[in-house]
């Protein structure tokens, strides 16, 4: 009941809402832009899957345009400098992996971690979004499941050869997600999104993906614990 009462008080035109939206909207736009580039980069590392990866990258570019429209619709200017800093560490790790030709690490960062983060954020946002953004986000989240699935299928097919690199990449990158969630917690709450719900949805998608790839429950528990330490 309290939850419902709070939700009905969201004022999409208030300065408080728009101020928080200027950062969250920028994060999403920057995330979609980086995802677009990440899929293009992975297309170079995986010539066999080039066409499919280019198709996924084009979807990310459409998502970016959709979320730019959401900001305009609310008369909000996204704070892109803030958003670039928000992604800087994860972005740096992806760039490093790409330069070293570590496709498994690239897939873990973009197709598992970032996609699971996107799925959590969009699922939690949809019920509290303004009507325009809700429609856009509903279309986008369906695509994000396709992206997560690409990573799952590829890594499942190459599981034994990828396992050790996946464990290392998880150890290095999952703590960043927790830092990022802590950083957005206040702004997300202003938009009606609870951190606990984001964490729960993220861990469900990420844990299910690890399970589908071939990790045991015990291994998934161990890998998930790296996040909690941040
Ligand atoms: O694959 C994708 O489209 C991912 C780039 C998008 C990432 C979105 C990250 C959302 C985090 C928002 C945090 C708000 C609470
Ligand atoms: Fe996307
Ligand atoms: Fe995506
Ligand atoms: Fe809270």
Tens of pLDDT along 118-162?
A: 999 999 999 999 999 999 999 999 999 999 999 999 999 999 999
Distance of CA 168 to the CA centre of its chain: 20
**What per-residue confidence (pLDDT) applies to 229?**
55
Q: With H, G, I as helix, E, B as strand and everything else as coil, classify residue 173.
A: helix
Q: Which ligand is nearest to the CA of 61?
A: 2
Is it the case that residue 112 has pLDDT exceeding 70?
yes
pLDDT in tens, 3-28: 555 555 799 999 999 999 999 999 99
pTM of the model: 0.95
Residues 32 and 60: beta-carbon distance below 8 Å: yes
Asked if residue 175 has pLDDT above 60, the reply is yes
Grouping H, G, I as helix, E, B as strand and the rest as coil, residue 221 is helix
Angle at 70 between CA 65 and CA 72, to 5 degrees: 95
What per-residue confidence (pLDDT) applies to 149?
98
User: Is the shortest distance between the CB of 188 and ligand 1 below 6 Å?
Assistant: yes
For the stretch 53-108, pLDDT in tens is 999 999 999 999 999 999 999 999 999 999 999 999 999 999 999 999 999 999 99
Span between the terminal Cα atoms of the chain, in Å: 33
Pinpoint the alpha helices (H) of the chain. 2-8, 15-45, 50-73, 80-99, 103-107, 115-125, 131-157, 159-190, 195-213, 217-228
Condensed to tens digits (0 to 9), the pLDDT of residues 188-221 reads: 999 999 999 999 999 999 999 999 999 999 999 9
Contact 82, 31 (CB under 8 A): no
Is ipTM over 0.90? yes
Q: Tell me, in angstroms, the distance from the centre of ligand 2 to residue 2's CA.
A: 32
Q: What pLDDT score was predicted for residue 1?
A: 47
- Evaluate: CB of 201 within 6 angstroms of ligand 1: no
Which of 35, 42, 118, 201, when mutated, tests ligand 1's pocket best, judged by the most ligand atoms within 8 Å of its CB?
A: 118
């Amino acid at each position: 009941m309290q939850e419902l009462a709070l939700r009905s008080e969201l004022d999409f035109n208030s300065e408080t809402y728009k101020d928080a939206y200027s950062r969250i909207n920028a994060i999403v736009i920057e995330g979609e832009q980086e995802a677009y580039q990440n899929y293009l980069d992975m297309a170079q590392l995986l010539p066999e899957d080039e066409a499919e990866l280019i198709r996924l990258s084009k979807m990310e570019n459409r998502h970016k345009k959709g979320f730019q429209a959401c900001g305009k619709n609310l008369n909000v200017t996204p704070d892109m400098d803030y958003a670039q800093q928000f992604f800087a560490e994860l972005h740096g790790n992806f760039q490093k992996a790409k330069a070293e030709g570590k496709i498994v690490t690239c897939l873990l960062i973009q197709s598992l971690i970032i996609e699971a983060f996107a799925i959590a954020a969009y699922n939690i946002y949809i019920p509290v979004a303004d009507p325009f953004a809700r429609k856009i986000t509903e279309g986008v989240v369906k695509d994000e499941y396709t992206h997560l699935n690409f990573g799952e299928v590829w890594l499942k097919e190459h599981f034994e050869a990828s396992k050790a690199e996946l464990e290392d990449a998880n150890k290095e990158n999952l703590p960043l997600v927790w830092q990022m969630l802590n950083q957005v917690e206040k702004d997300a709450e202003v938009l009606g999104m609870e951190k606990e719900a984001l964490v729960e949805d993220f861990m469900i998608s990420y844990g299910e993906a690890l399970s589908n790839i071939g990790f045991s429950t015990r291994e998934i528990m161990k890998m998930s614990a790296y996040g909690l330490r941040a």
